[in-house]
């Protein structure tokens, strides 16, 4: 078991009651003998000289645990920022849904203390997607996504058209509002709303889900996560590539998008009683009886 002594707290600044919860958590960590790092996005609201403040990149090499306070959106941005460093992440839920942030604020101090003092946690790995955009032979954009990479039509509202190949084998030409490439983690997000399947987080697959395709025969498919997907943009309409709904890049006609599994997984820590199917029942109301 790994000892956690240098711990970062990262939150979304405009979350309700965020400062109160960060203050409580920082005091708890100090009492446990940990050194606390507080991300500068929330540090302006606090004053406590016992903790270190600053941008995540300034001290990311020093920390051995990150605690994300907020909703799944906060966790997504934290995950992309630290995945290259092998730092595990714990999610405290201040959002409404919380598929990834599975520790309630009310249980925060108890659960975090148990993780640090007695190593009471379950660790799992989550896959990320990587995308590169080539304009001719020039790399013009690259980024990561923990939930999904989405190619979608732009503000004009016209359908986008592209060719798709998997491992250099032609799959199809599609005309649609776009397409979602979802990880198992992201299968309960936009992909699910668009009619995609729910994938268990440990599945070694991705889902490809068309968004309002022109042809009704276009349906979601599930593929192995060890493949390389290539998109060739045909249409000259405004087309946008989105990463987790938080970053975007405007594509040009004839751009090529290369999508594959990222080389490193994100490490998540959960309480000992964590159960993925319990999460699905709770978040998707599967426990409700149909009258």
Q: Are residues 244 and 163 in the same domain?
A: yes
10, part of any domain = yes
289, part of any domain = no
291, part of any domain = no
CATH number, position 104: 3.40.50.10330
* Active site (catalytic) residues: 72
CATH number, position 194: 2.60.200.30
Q: Are residues 120 and 134 in the same domain?
A: no
45, part of any domain = yes
Q: Are residues 140 and 242 in the same domain?
A: yes
pLDDT per residue as tens, the chain (291 positions):
678 999 999 987 666 578 888 888 999 999 999 999 988 766 555 655 567 777 888 889 999 999 999 888 889 999 999 999 999 999 998 866 678 888 988 999 999 999 999 999 999 999 999 999 999 999 999 999 999 999 999 877 789 999 999 999 999 999 999 999 999 999 999 999 999 999 999 999 999 999 999 988 889 999 999 999 999 999 888 899 999 999 999 999 999 999 999 999 999 999 999 999 988 888 888 866 655
Q: Are residues 170 and 48 in the same domain?
A: no
Total-model pTM: 0.92
120, part of any domain = yes
- With H, G, I as helix, E, B as strand and everything else as coil, classify residue 203: coil
pLDDT attached to residue 50 = 66
Q: Are 73 and 101 in contact (CB under 8 A)?
A: no
Which domain does 176 fall in, by range? 129-261
pLDDT attached to residue 155 = 74
pLDDT attached to residue 75 = 92
CA distance 251 to 208: 19
Q: Are residues 157 and 121 in the same domain?
A: no
290, part of any domain = no
Q: Are 197 and 222 in contact (CB under 8 A)?
A: yes
Q: How many domains does the chain have?
A: 2
114, part of any domain = yes
pLDDT attached to residue 283 = 82
Least Cα distance to 244 among 191, 177, 166, 202 occurs for: 191
Strand ordering across the sheet containing 148-153: 221-224, 205-211, 178-182, 148-153, 239-243, 247-251
CA distance 253 to 256: 9
Q: Are residues 118 and 10 in the same domain?
A: yes
Strand ordering across the sheet containing 228-233: 138-145, 129-135, 256-261, 228-233, 160-166, 169-176
Length of the chain in terms of residues written: 291
32, part of any domain = yes
Residues linked to residue 123 through DSSP beta bridges, in sequence order = 269
Radius of gyration of the chain (CA): 20
Q: Are residues 113 and 221 in the same domain?
A: no
- With H, G, I as helix, E, B as strand and everything else as coil, classify residue 48: coil
Tokens 């460093």, residue located: 85
Q: Are residues 117 and 92 in the same domain?
A: yes
């Amino acid at each position: 078991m790994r000892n956690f002594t240098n711990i970062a707290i990262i939150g979304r600044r405009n979350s309700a009651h965020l400062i109160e919860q960060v203050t409580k958590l920082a005091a708890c960590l100090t009492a446990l003998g940990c050194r606390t790092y507080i991300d500068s996005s929330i540090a302006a609201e606090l004053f406590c000289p016992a903790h270190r403040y600053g941008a995540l990149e300034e001290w990311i090499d020093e920390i051995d645990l990150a605690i994300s306070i907020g909703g799944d959106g906060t966790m997504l941005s934290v995950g992309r920022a630290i995945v290259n460093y092998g730092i595990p992440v714990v999610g405290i839920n201040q959002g409404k849904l919380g598929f990834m942030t599975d520790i309630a604020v009310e249980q925060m101090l108890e659960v975090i203390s148990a993780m640090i003092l007695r190593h009471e946690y379950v660790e799992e790995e989550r896959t990320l997607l990587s995308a590169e955009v080539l304009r001719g032979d020039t790399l013009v954009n690259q980024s990561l996504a923990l939930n999904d990479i989405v190619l979608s039509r732009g503000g004009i509202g016209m359908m986008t058209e592209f060719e798709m190949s998997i491992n250099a084998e032609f799959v199809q030409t599609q005309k649609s509002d776009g397409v979602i490439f979802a990880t198992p983690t992201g299968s309960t997000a936009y992909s699910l709303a668009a009619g995609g399947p729910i994938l268990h987080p440990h599945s070694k697959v991705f889902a490809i889900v068309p968004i309002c395709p022109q042809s009704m025969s276009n349906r979601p498919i599930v593929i192995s996560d060890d493949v390389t997907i290539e998109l060739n943009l045909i249409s000259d309409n405004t087309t946008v590539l989105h990463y987790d709904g938080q970053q975007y890049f405007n594509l040009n006609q004839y751009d090529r998008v290369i999508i594959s599994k990222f080389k490193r997984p994100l490490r998540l820590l959960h309480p000992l009683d964590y159960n993925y199917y319990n999460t699905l029942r709770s978040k998707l109301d599967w426990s409700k009886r149909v009258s």
